[in-house]
Amino acid sequence: MCRGDFFVSPSKNIMRTYIKDITSKKGEEIIIKGWVHIVRDQGKMAFFDFRDMTGLVQGVVFGKPEVLEVAKTLRSEWVVAITGKVNERPEKMRKEGILNGDVELEITGIEILNKAETPIFEVINNTSEINEEARLQNRYIDLRTERMQHNMRMRGTVAQMIRNELYHQGFTEIETPIFTKSTPEGARDYIVPARLVPGHFYALPQSPQQYKQLLMSSGMEKYFQLARCMRDEDLRGDRQPEFTQMDMEMSFVTEDDIMNLNEKLLIKVVQSLYPEKKIQQIPFPRMTYKEAMETHGNDRPDIREDKNDSNLLAFLWVVDFPFFEKTATSDDPMAQGEWTFTHNPFSLSKPEYLENIKNKTNIGDIIASQYDITLNGFEIGGGSIRAHDPEILRSILQILGHTDEKIDANFGHMMRAFASGTPPHGGIAWGFDRLMMILQNEPNIREVIAFPKTRGGRDLLMDAPSKIDQKQLDELGLLIIKKD
């Protein structure tokens, strides 16, 4: 019967059928639940496309005036429960190669679960050319589009394959803290005031670097996680203030062990989930940092033989990085300042340079046991064999200008752990968002992140960052000083 906005089907006890499974229900009465995708009102008949998370199906109303009355009120993006009979299409009306192209749903009942305002842009279209601010402000609508649904689902599928493969190889997935300590190891930290310890602050992790090494001290031997990381740095198309790393660390390994394992994992992901793509060279070629800089002018060269082929993947290992480099001074960018690290301060040098680290000699010549994995001109991962001897790490930090007092204050926990019997170890971290961006043929990582920030670091959906009220500031002991 018809009651206002609702047509209540007599078949209330039928279990929901997902749209992808409709073809197997020919001749049966079913209920689907989802969104009105397209409306086509043809007077005495009304045609619709309905969608759920599994796909699309066409439905039609005819010969039932009470159902047609409700059907004519439906609009795109309304959420509905549809009862209907699955009919096989006539031969000449079949759409080969399309989900449910051989069936049509004869609608016998409609229940309106929720109405929708007219969307700011069409969900049926690819939104890549639409103003990005509008998309990000209405991300919950943007994510309904076929392209964005595919991006999100493939991201989850790739993550699941990585998990399965690493579990199979004896890795343990371990979550590391989000609230940690601010230490001088790279980019600028995001800091969080500690209400219970006035005047003190947590830092959000730039990476799980120290924790994963501490896990090697703990005897875990094989660790990984899909880790959330935060860095307060200038943004660009392949960078966000918060991002995801596929983070990995292993004990008792060499550079080759780590590189070979990760190479096999990347090959399996591509060949299993992206069969349309071709890997240019297997095994992946290797190039020294010196060769990359001399022949390409950068340390992440794009070595594709055909740069117009979006399905060509040219992986490359870049190895033998200099451990240290001189910083530019603030007064004269061309003048050299203090020593800094090229990757991170916890790396180890090649064995033949250990004496240089201990004695702090020929510092500019020291080569690190570091390696990057690049793909089509993007760095998608980097790692190293780590310093596991506390005295070696102390010497490295001293080269970087840290006093013993500062070393003990900032890294005393690492020194104590390494002195407790820590095995040799090494690891790698992938930029998971960058990898997905390339695999999905997207121009930037915002297209493969569900709720990204703008280039200015703003969350337009939630309107963040935002001000907090004076009560919160007082509770945290914070004073806002306005800059000119």
User: pLDDT at position 2, please?
Assistant: 44
- Are 222 and 76 part of one and the same domain? no
479 in a domain, yes or no? no
Determine the pLDDT at residue 1: 42
Binned average pLDDT, 10 residues per bin, the chain of 484 residues? 47 85 96 97 93 97 93 97 95 90 96 96 94 97 98 98 98 97 84 94 95 98 97 82 97 98 98 98 98 97 96 98 82 67 90 96 95 98 97 95 94 96 98 98 97 94 95 92 82
The total of structural domains in the chain comes to 2
One domain for residues 150 and 52: no
Interatomic CA distance for residues 250 and 472, integer angstroms: 43
The CATH code of the domain that includes 408 is 3.30.930.10
- The backbone torsions φ and ψ at residue 27, rounded to the nearest 5 degrees and listed phi first, read 85, -5
Domain boundary residue among 84, 114, 144? Answer: 114
- What is the C-alpha to C-alpha distance for residues 435 and 381, in angstroms, rounded to an integer? 9
The pTM of the whole model exceeds 0.95: no
- For residue 129, being part of any structural domain is answered with no
Whether 477 maps to a domain, the answer reads no
pLDDT at 4 (0 to 100): 42
**Cα(124)–Cα(148) distance, rounded to whole angstroms?**
11
State whether 182 and 215 are in the same domain.
yes
Cα torsion 32, 35, 41, 43: sign: positive
- Report residue 311 as tokens: 């399905």
Say yes or no: 140 and 109 in one domain.
Answer: no
User: In whole angstroms, how far apart are CA 94 and each of 58, 74, 88, 102?
Assistant: 12, 26, 9, 5
- pLDDT for 330 equals 54
Domain identity same for 97 and 177: no
Q: Does residue 344 fall inside a structural domain? A: yes
Residue identified by tokens 């240290």 is: 324
- The verdict on residue 482 lying in a domain is no
Give the pLDDT score at 334.
54
Looking at the structure, do residues 189 and 79 belong to the same domain, yes or no? no
Q: Tokens at residue 433, please?
A: 């968002």
Candidates 363, 358, 362; CA nearest to 340 is 363
Asked whether residue 101 falls in the same domain as residue 154, the answer is no
Instruction: Answer yes or no: do 283 and 381 share one domain.
Output: yes
- Domain containing 40: what range? 2-114
Which CATH number belongs to the domain containing residue 60 in this structure? 2.40.50.140
How many helical (H) and strand (E) elements, i.e. helices and strands, does the chain have? Answer: 12, 21
